C-alpha cells in the first residue's frame, strides 16, 4: 500500500529544522538523508472501543498535519484486534469526528482486522524460523515465569518444542481444538531481558468471542504489540507516532519488523500524550461516566470527547489551533483547559454573531413609550468583521433586562441601573429608573418602571451627556424563550486521576457542573436557529444552539464565558 511514486527527496541544505518540534525535526532530517525515498506516510490508529477525545485530536493533528506538510499521506486505521470491546457505532463516530476536525484519508481507510490472515502468516513464519512457540503455561504461571523488573524470568518448559510440533499446535489452536486461555503463541526472545516486554511476549491468544467484523472466523486473536508494527509495515508507514507509554515497547516493535519478512521498516517515535486539567482522557473512564450516568452520553457538552466539544459549541478550527499551540513534547504534563477555552474564544470572537440574550430576566416598563408601538433598532452583527453586517432588533415599551443589571442599593463603581440612575440600552436609548415594583410577599423585584429619552436613539445624547453603563435587553413581546445550560468543569480537581488511597476519580466529580436556566429570553433573530448555530451573547459569553431544541423549544449551551476566569483560579490552586 506504499505509494508508487515517492515525492522528490528534499535535499535542500537550507531546510531549517529550528522552530520545529522534535518529531518534525526527525522527519526533515530523514527526508534529507533520503530515508524511505523521502516518503512521509503516517497513520492514526484508534481502537474502536469508544468515542474520540481531545487527546486523540492532538494525535490526529500531528499525524495528518505532518503528512500534509511533506506532501505525504496519512491513513485512518481501526486498530480492532480485541473482539470484546469494539463495535461499528464507534467506527462510524471515529470517521465522523476525524472528518469534522478537517482531515481526509481519501481511500486509505483500513482495519487491522483485515490483516488477520496476513498476521497469521507472519506468526507461522516466526514459528518456522524458530522464533515463536506454543506455550501451555496458564495466566498465573506466565507471570511467575516472567520474573520481576529487577529479577530475570525463567524459560517456559514449552520453549524448546520443535518447529513441527509448534506448527501442528498452532494449526490446532486456529482450528479451535483447545479451550480459551489454555495455550498461547509466544515470541522466543529473551526471558532475562531487562525490558519485560521482551520476555517472550504473547503473540496470539485463544478467545471464542465473535469479532464485530470477522464474526466467528477466528478463535485466536493477535496481540496489539504484534499487530501494530506489522500493520504499519503492510501499509508502508514510515513514521509510527504514538504516546510515551509505548516507549518500552519499541524494542519489541522493532523485533517483529526485523524478524518478519515485511515490505517496509517504519520507525516508532513516542510523544507526550495530552492531559487536560479538570478532565479525564481515558476511554475506559469516559465510558464509565456514560454507563454510570454521570453524564447524558458521549456527546454530553461536559465531556472532552470531540462530539461533546462540538455539541458544546467548540469549532474544529479552535481545536486544531489549540493542538498547534500546545505543540509536541517528550515529557508529560497537564495542559490547562483554559488554553482550550481560549482558543475557542479567539475563533468565535471572529465568527460568531453577536446577539442579546437575557439569562435571568426582570421586566422593564418604559412609562413614556407609547403602548403598542414597536420600532427596529440597528445592531451590529460582529464588530470584528464588517462583512457580517447588521440586523434589526425590535424595541418596545416592555423589555427584559438582566436581573443583575439592577441594584436597589448600588455599591461604588456600579454603573448599571438603580433608582434614579440613567443607563444606555445597547443600540437603543437612554433610560432612567423611576420606580421599583416588588412582590409584596417575597420582596423580590418584579418590575422596573423607567422612562426613556426619545432624543437618545442609537444610544447617544445630542446634548453630549454621558452615561457610565450600557446594558443588554430584549423586547418582552418579541423575545424568544430559551433554556440555557451553563457548564462548569466536570471535575473539581486539576488532575482527577490523582486519587488518594482507596479513592476513585469519580470522587472528584463536580456536582455543580451543569446549571440549567429556564425562562431566559433571547432576541427574536434566534427563533428557529438550527442546532449548532453559534452566538456571542453580548456581555455573557459564547453560546451554541443545542440538539435538544425543537419546534417551539430553544435550548442553548454556553460554550465559554467571555473572559477566562479560570486561569487565575488554577494558578491559585496550583500554588496552594
Binding site for ligand ATP (CB under 6 A): 45-47, 55-56, 58-59, 79, 242-243, 273-274, 281-284
Active site residue 283: yes
Partner interacting with residue 171 (select from ligand ATP, Mg ion, none; CB below 5-8 Å by kind):
none
Give Cα 409 distance to the centre of its chain. Answer: 45
- Catalytic residue among 32, 207, 273, 407, which? 273
- Tell the burial category of 442 from Cβ atoms under 10 Å away from its Cβ (0-12, 13-18, 19+): exposed
Q: Which of 47, 288, 447, 570 is catalytic?
A: 47
Q: Nearest distance from residue 47's CB to Mg ion, in Å?
A: 5
Residues in region 29-68 near Mg ion by CB under 5 A: 47
| Least distance CB 115 / ligand ATP (angstroms) | 16
- Complex with ligand ATP: residue 309 or 366, whichever CB lies closer: 309
Whose Cβ is closer to ligand ATP: residue 80's or residue 422's? Answer: 80
Closest CB to Mg ion among residues 47, 483: 47
Q: What is the closest distance, in whole angstroms, from the C-beta atom of residue 47 to ligand ATP in the complex?
A: 4
Residue keyed to cell 515490505: 263
Q: At what angle do helices 337-351 and 316-326 cross, to 10 degrees?
A: 140
Q: Which one from 39, 283, 397, 426 is the annotated catalytic residue?
A: 283
User: Using CA atoms, how far apart are residues 260 and 283, in angstroms rounded to an integer?
Assistant: 32
Concatenating the DSSP letter of every residue in 284-348 gives: HHHHHHHHTTSSSSTT-TTS-BHHHHHHHT--HHHHHHHHHHH---SS--EE-HHHHHHHHHHHH
**47 a catalytic residue:** yes
At 73, is the secondary structure helix, strand, or coil?
Answer: strand
User: From the list ligand ATP, Mg ion, none, which binds 266 (C-beta under 5 to 8 Å, kind-based)?
Assistant: none
Residue 242 interacting entry, from ligand ATP, Mg ion, none, C-beta within 5 to 8 Å by type: ligand ATP
Residue 243's binding partner among Mg ion, ligand ATP, none (Cβ under 5 to 8 angstroms by kind) is: ligand ATP
Q: Minimal CB distance to Mg ion: which residue? A: 47
Residue 55 CB, shortest distance to ligand ATP, in Å, is: 2
- Tell me the pairing of strands 534-537 and 541-545: antiparallel
Q: Which residues contact 121 (CB under 8 A, 6 or more apart)?
A: none
Q: Which does 302 bind (CB under 5 to 8 A by kind): ligand ATP, Mg ion, none?
A: none
Nearer to Mg ion, 81 or 156 (CB): 81
Nearer to Mg ion, 30 or 80 (CB): 80
Other beta carbons within 10 angstroms of residue 561's beta carbon come to 14
User: Is the CB of 46 or the CB of 357 nearer to ligand ATP?
Assistant: 46
**Smallest gap, in angstroms, from Cβ of residue 245 to ligand ATP?**
8
Q: How far is the CB of 241 from ligand ATP (least distance, A)?
A: 7
Q: Give the distance between the most distant pair of CA atoms in the chain.
A: 103
Cα 549 to Cα 30, 301, 395, 481, 514: the distances in Å are: 52, 14, 26, 12, 17
List of residues 6+ apart from 391 with CB closer than 8 A: 378, 379, 381, 525
| Residue in the shown chain whose Cβ atom is closest to ligand ATP | 55
**Contact footprint for Mg ion (CB under 5 A):** 47
Residues designated catalytic: 47, 273, 283
Amino acid at each position: 500500500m506504499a505509494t508508487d511514486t515517492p515525492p522528490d527527496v528534499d535535499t535542500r541544505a537550507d531546510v531549517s529544522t529550528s522552530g520545529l518540534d522534535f518529531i518534525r525535526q526527525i522527519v526533515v532530517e530523514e527526508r534529507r538523508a533520503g530515508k524511505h525515498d523521502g516518503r512521509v506516510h503516517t497513520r492514526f490508529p484508534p481502537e474502536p472501543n469508544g468515542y474520540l477525545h481531545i487527546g486523540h485530536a492532538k494525535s490526529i493533528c500531528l499525524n495528518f498535519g505532518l503528512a500534509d506538510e511533506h506532501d505525504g499521506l496519512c491513513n485512518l486505521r481501526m486498530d480492532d484486534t480485541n473482539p470484546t470491546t469494539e463495535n461499528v457505532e464507534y467506527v462510524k463516530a471515529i470517521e465522523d469526528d476525524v472528518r469534522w476536525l478537517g482531515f481526509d484519508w481519501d481511500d486509505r481507510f483500513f482495519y487491522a482486522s483485515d490483516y488477520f490472515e496476513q498476521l497469521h502468516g507472519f506468526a507461522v513464519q516466526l514459528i518456522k524460523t524458530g522464533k515463536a512457540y506454543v506455550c501451555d503455561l496458564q495466566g498465573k504461571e506466565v507471570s511467575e515465569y516472567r520474573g520481576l523488573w529487577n529479577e530475570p524470568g525463567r524459560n517456559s518448559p514449552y520453549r524448546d518444542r520443535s518447529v513441527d510440533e509448534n506448527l501442528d499446535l498452532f494449526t490446532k489452536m486456529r482450528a479451535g481444538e483447545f479451550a480459551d486461555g489454555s495455550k498461547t503463541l509466544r515470541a522466543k526472545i529473551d526471558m532475562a531481558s531487562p525490558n519485560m516486554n521482551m520476555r517472550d511476549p504473547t503473540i496470539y491468544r485463544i478467545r471464542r468471542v465473535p469479532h464485530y467484523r470477522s464474526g466467528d472466523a477466528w478463535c485466536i486473536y493477535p496481540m496489539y504489540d504484534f499487530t501494530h508494527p506489522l500493520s504499519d509495515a503492510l501499509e508502508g508507514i514510515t513514521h509510527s507516532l504514538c504516546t510515551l507509554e509505548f516507549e518500552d515497547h519499541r524494542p519489541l516493535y522493532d523485533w517483529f519488523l526485523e524478524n518478519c519478512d515485511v515490505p517496509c521498516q517504519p520507525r516508532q517515535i513516542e510523544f507526550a500524550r495530552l492531559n487536560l486539567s479538570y478532565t479525564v482522557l481515558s476511554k475506559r473512564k469516559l465510558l464509565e461516566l456514560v454507563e454510570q450516568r454521570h453524564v447524558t452520553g458521549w456527546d454530553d457538552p461536559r465531556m472532552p470527547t470531540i462530539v461533546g466539544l462540538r455539541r458544546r459549541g467548540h469549532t474544529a478550527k479552535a481545536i486544531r489551533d489549540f493542538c498547534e499551540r500546545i505543540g509536541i513534547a517528550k515529557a508529560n504534563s497537564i495542559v490547562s483547559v483554559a488554553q482550550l477555552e481560549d482558543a475557542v474564544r479567539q475563533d468565535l470572537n471572529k465568527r460568531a454573531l453577536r446577539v442579546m440574550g437575557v439569562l435571568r430576566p426582570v421586566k422593564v416598563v418604559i412609562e413614556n413609550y407609547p403602548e403598542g408601538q414597536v420600532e427596529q433598532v440597528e445592531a451590529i452583527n460582529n464588530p470584528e468583521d464588517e462583512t457580517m453586517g447588521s440586523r434589526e432588533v425590535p424595541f418596545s415599551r416592555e423589555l427584559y433586562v438582566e436581573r443583575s443589571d439592577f441594584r436597589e442599593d448600588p455599591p461604588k463603581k456600579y454603573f448599571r441601573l438603580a433608582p434614579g440612575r440613567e443607563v444606555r440600552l445597547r443600540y437603543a436609548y437612554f433610560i432612567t429608573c423611576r420606580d421599583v415594583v416588588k412582590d409584596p410577599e417575597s420582596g423580590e423585584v418584579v418590575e422596573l418602571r423607567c422612562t426613556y429619552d426619545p432624543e437618545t436613539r442609537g444610544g447617544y445624547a445630542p446634548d453630549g451627556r454621558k452615561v457610565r453603563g450600557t446594558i443588554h435587553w430584549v423586547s418582552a413581546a418579541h423575545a424568544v424563550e430559551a433554556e440555557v445550560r451553563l457548564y462548569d468543569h466536570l471535575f473539581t480537581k486539576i488532575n482527577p486521576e490523582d486519587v488518594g488511597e482507596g479513592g476513585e476519580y469519580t470522587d472528584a466529580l463536580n456536582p455543580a457542573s451543569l446549571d440549567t436556566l429556564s425562562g431566559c429570553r433571547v432576541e427574536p433573530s434566534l427563533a428557529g436557529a438550527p442546532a449548532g448555530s453559534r452566538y456571542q451573547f453580548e456581555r455573557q459569553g459564547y453560546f451554541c444552539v443545542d440538539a435538544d431544541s425543537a419546534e417551539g423549544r430553544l435550548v442553548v449551551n454556553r460554550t465559554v464565558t467571555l473572559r477566562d476566569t479560570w486561569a487565575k483560579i488554577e494558578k491559585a490552586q496550583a500554588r496552594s
